[in-house]
A and B are shown apart, each in its own frame.
Chain A
């Protein structure tokens, strides 16, 4: 029950990143998504892993609060296609996690597939670097959690947390031709 709820929370966080354009909405998305992923991964891999992921996600959320478009801007006008994307991704991820694949960790499969799908789609569809870097942070955390499906050590989680934390604070240069 807990792992299923946490997987849903992870999806909700990724969906918030897809639906929000403002820094507060994006930071909330990272925070919620991180919480869900940390619980799902922590149930399998232990408290230390959950703590590492939470730390990385919290750093990313703080970094996003520091920069980016102001306000919440959750579901601005014209967001219907994004909403449909979120629901469709959840249904497909649920189908794969429960219907196609088998074995334990169905919640983890659903969480990582839905977060990877939504964060990847957000990176491809956005032209705003701050939005993209927010999606990068959550995508990195999902990749780290996906390592749990192969019974990985702690290093993928640490790497994911580092990338997520770095994505929130990465300075950007203006484009130029040398």
Chain B
């Protein structure tokens, strides 16, 4: 049983409870509880079952049920990317298991990375997204809630099925896809005209951090990935849900709380995203310093998009203000003292 997965399951439970208490009224509680609970159980099953093939089948079942649940998109559209992911992962497993030339192992690595990207909804397999989709079955919630368990499960199981040579190719591809998502997500969240799309791009950018961290294959990279996942589940997702309360007026005066939220989303000190970025840069410097330089440049691109997203939250007081304050406090605590999180995950 992976300690990282156990920790992420606990985080997902906390995130679901938090959403049930603090999610805005436009998000129906009943469907949130049912679909969130189903997603949690399936995500836990994906992470905890000992056989990779069974985890794939659980993912397939979860994807079909999620697509069948009422969302803004049609079933046919919602099912495609997860089904593609499952097909990629299944073919990758076949290539990893059969006897043959060495290049088959590399194809298996390609399949695993492509399957992971398609399963979570990252470039180059972005899930179709409707900005008006408030339902818990939204692709954004999938990316932030089921995605982390899925990602950890695929990455750590991949290490057990790939050879050393293929494992190195797998790690390099994770870094490549991670940097691509970081750059595209950070740029997209700044330049897109829709605030809903900007939120989606910001999740992609955070996932880029996670993939880079997993790809670095040094302990600092794994730590960075775990903290970035924490930031997604316990930071960006609740803030995104809080932003759904009511659209911010066009001429909203910028208040200090919006700047603080922007800081948290951008991964500035003292929030948990800052610790993740520092660890990532340290790990990249250990392996290959030009990579760290490139990562630092891309990380700067987070700021404009985060300022924009920070402004999209109209924190008017009441329950929403309590929720935002709690989220910020948790992120500051994890940023200042991440050791318990890392120790619990065995890192």
A-side residues, CB < 8 A to B, are 100-103, 109, 112-113, 116-117, 119-120, 123-124, 126-129, 132-133, 136, 139-140, 142-144, 146-147, 149-150, 152-153, 155-156, 159-160, 162-163, 166-167, 170-178
Name the B residues within 8 Å of A173 (CB-CB): 68-70
The total number of A-B Cβ pairs within 8 Å is 136
Cβ of B159 < 8 Å from any Cβ of A? Answer: no
B68 & A120 in contact (Cβ 8 Å cutoff):
no
Which residues of B71-100 have CB atoms within 8 Å of chain A's CB atoms?
Answer: 71-76, 79-80, 83-84, 86-87, 90-91, 93-94, 97-100
A146 & B99 in contact (Cβ 8 Å cutoff):
no
Q: How far is A101 from B27 in the complex, measured between Cα atoms in Å?
A: 51
B94 & A112 in contact (Cβ 8 Å cutoff):
yes
Name the B residues within 8 Å of A159 (CB-CB): 53-54, 57-58
Looking at the complex, which one of A124, A132, A147, A177 makes contact with B134 (CB distance below 8 Å)? A177
Q: How far is A113 from B90 in the complex, measured between Cα atoms in Å?
A: 9
- Distance from B4 Cβ to chain A, minimum over Cβ atoms (Å): 23
List, sorted by A's number, 11 A–B pairs whose CB atoms are closer than 8 Å.
A101-B98, A103-B98, A113-B91, A123-B84, A139-B60, A143-B86, A146-B90, A149-B97, A156-B53, A156-B57, A167-B64
B64 & A124 in contact (Cβ 8 Å cutoff):
no
Given A103-B99, A174-B70, A177-B132, A163-B83 contact (CB < 8 Å): no
Given A150-B53, A163-B57, A178-B134, 7 extra CB contacts under 8 A: A101-B100, A112-B94, A146-B90, A159-B57, A173-B68, A176-B72, A178-B31
Name the A residues within 8 Å of B51 (CB-CB): 147, 152-153, 155-156
Cβ of B124 < 8 Å from any Cβ of A? Answer: no
Q: How far is A142 from B134 in the complex, measured between Cα atoms in Å?
A: 35
- Distance from B200 Cβ to chain A, minimum over Cβ atoms (Å): 16
A123 & B99 in contact (Cβ 8 Å cutoff):
no
Looking at the complex, which one of A124, A150, A153, A166 makes contact with B83 (CB distance below 8 Å)? A124
B-side residues, CB < 8 A to A, are 26-28, 31, 51, 53-54, 56-58, 60-61, 64-65, 68-76, 79-80, 83-84, 86-87, 90-91, 93-94, 97-101, 104, 130, 132-135
- Distance from B334 Cβ to chain A, minimum over Cβ atoms (Å): 31
Name the B residues within 8 Å of A171 (CB-CB): 68
Of chain B, the residue at the smallest CB distance from A119 is: B87
- Distance from B138 Cβ to chain A, minimum over Cβ atoms (Å): 9
B97 & A150 in contact (Cβ 8 Å cutoff):
yes
- The A contact surface, by secondary structure, is helix
Name the B residues within 8 Å of A156 (CB-CB): 51, 53-54, 57
Looking at the complex, which one of B31, B60, B76, B93 makes contact with A146 (CB distance below 8 Å)? B93
Q: How far is A170 from B86 in the complex, measured between Cα atoms in Å?
A: 19
B84 & A120 in contact (Cβ 8 Å cutoff):
yes
Looking at the complex, which one of A119, A140, A176 makes contact with B57 (CB distance below 8 Å)? A140
Name the A residues within 8 Å of B61 (CB-CB): 162-163, 166
- Distance from B272 Cβ to chain A, minimum over Cβ atoms (Å): 30
Given A100-B101, A136-B83, A170-B64, A175-B54 contact (CB < 8 Å): no
Name the B residues within 8 Å of A103 (CB-CB): 98-99
Name the A residues within 8 Å of B80 (CB-CB): 123-124
Of chain A, the residue at the smallest CB distance from B81 is: A124
Given A103-B98, A113-B91, A139-B83, A175-B73 contact (CB < 8 Å): yes
Name the A residues within 8 Å of B94 (CB-CB): 109, 112-113, 146, 149
- Distance from A100 Cβ to chain B, minimum over Cβ atoms (Å): 6
Looking at the complex, which one of A120, A153, A175, A178 makes contact with B87 (CB distance below 8 Å)? A120
B87 & A116 in contact (Cβ 8 Å cutoff):
yes
Q: How far is A12 from B320 in the complex, measured between Cα atoms in Å?
A: 57
- Distance from B114 Cβ to chain A, minimum over Cβ atoms (Å): 12
Name the B residues within 8 Å of A177 (CB-CB): 72, 130, 132-135
Name the A residues within 8 Å of B101 (CB-CB): 100
B53 & A178 in contact (Cβ 8 Å cutoff):
no
- Distance from A90 Cβ to chain B, minimum over Cβ atoms (Å): 16
Q: How far is A159 from B54 in the complex, measured between Cα atoms in Å?
A: 6
Name the B residues within 8 Å of A175 (CB-CB): 70-75
- Distance from B119 Cβ to chain A, minimum over Cβ atoms (Å): 14
Q: How far is A152 from B97 in the complex, measured between Cα atoms in Å?
A: 11
B134 & A143 in contact (Cβ 8 Å cutoff):
no
Of chain B, the residue at the smallest CB distance from A171 is: B68
Q: How far is A119 from B79 in the complex, measured between Cα atoms in Å?
A: 13
Name the A residues within 8 Å of B69 (CB-CB): 173
Closest 4 CB pairs of A and B: A120-B87, A173-B70, A147-B53, A178-B134
